[in-house]
């Protein structure tokens, strides 16, 4: 069974969605480690569930030292793959290379549109008619890795931002476990920039 590490910085709703999918047997894996770069509700929730956790404040020790300590925790947990779920930092090229095609991220836009912070705000300020969610492999670029899954959402005229955010999050909570399931089952093959989903 696949051992999965989750990196989080915030509330942990994608982490919780992934855990629910595992508990329901939809994702063949276990949560081997939950790691955070700051004090976060996601970390507290993981501790309450009895999950293995890692915490160090990257703002105090620096990202290089944070990654060094995280690598020790990942080795101890024997994690097979890493999921970024609301993780708000850019991993170093060396770290990404070590886990090539074993790190996935969920992003609240239809990449390559609106990478980086506040993707929903970016989309609204541009007046787009359609936005969505992307799950992708992490590479050296900012939200630039090969795309695994995407789903579009219509932006309703006059819709409050909070309502759009809620709809986007609902898609994230469904799409991320689907992508992790495919990766756990070995059904993803990357050829160039294209991710092919193999028959299962």
Cα–Cα distances in Å, from 119 out to 37, 67, 155, 185?
21, 25, 13, 30
- What's the pLDDT band for 1 if we cut at 50, 70, 90? confident
CATH, residue 157: 3.40.50.170
Token pair 């050829």: residue:
191
Question: What digits encode the pLDDT tens for the residues 48-101?
Answer: 999 999 999 999 999 999 999 999 999 999 999 999 999 999 999 999 999 999
The residue range of the domain holding 153 is 2-197
**Active-site residue, from 107, 136, 169, 173:** 107
Compute the distance between CA of residue 180 and CA of residue 149 in angstroms, rounded to an integer.
10
What residues contact residue 171 under an 8 Å CB cut-off, 6+ apart?
Answer: 132, 133, 151, 153
For the segment 20-36, the average pLDDT, to the nearest whole number, is: 95
State the total domains in the chain.
1
Question: Is 107 labeled as catalytic in the residue annotation?
Answer: yes
Upstream peptide bond of 112 is cis (omega within 30 degrees of 0): yes
């Amino acid at each position: 069974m696949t051992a999965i590490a989750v990196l989080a910085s915030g509330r942990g709703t994608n982490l919780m969605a992934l855990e629910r999918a595992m508990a329901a047997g939809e994702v063949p894996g276990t949560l081997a480690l939950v790691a955070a770069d700051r004090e976060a509700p996601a970390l507290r929730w993981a501790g309450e569930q009895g999950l293995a956790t890692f915490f160090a404040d990257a703002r105090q020790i620096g990202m290089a030292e944070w990654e060094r300590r995280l690598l020790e925790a990942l080795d101890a947990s024997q994690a097979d793959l890493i999921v970024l779920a609301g993780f708000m930092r850019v991993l170093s090229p060396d770290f990404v290379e070590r886990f090539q095609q074993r790190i996935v991220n969920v992003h609240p836009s239809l990449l390559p549109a609106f990478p980086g912070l506040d993707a929903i705000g970016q989309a609204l300020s541009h007046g787009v008619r359609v936005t969505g969610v992307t799950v992708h492999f992490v590479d050296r670029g900012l939200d630039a890795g090969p795309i695994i899954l995407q789903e579009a959402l219509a932006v309703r005229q006059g819709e409050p931002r909070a309502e759009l955010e809620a709809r986007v999050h609902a898609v994230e909570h469904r799409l991320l476990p689907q992508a992790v399931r495919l990766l756990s089952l070995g059904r993803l093959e990357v050829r160039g920039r294209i991710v092919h989903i193999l028959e299962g």
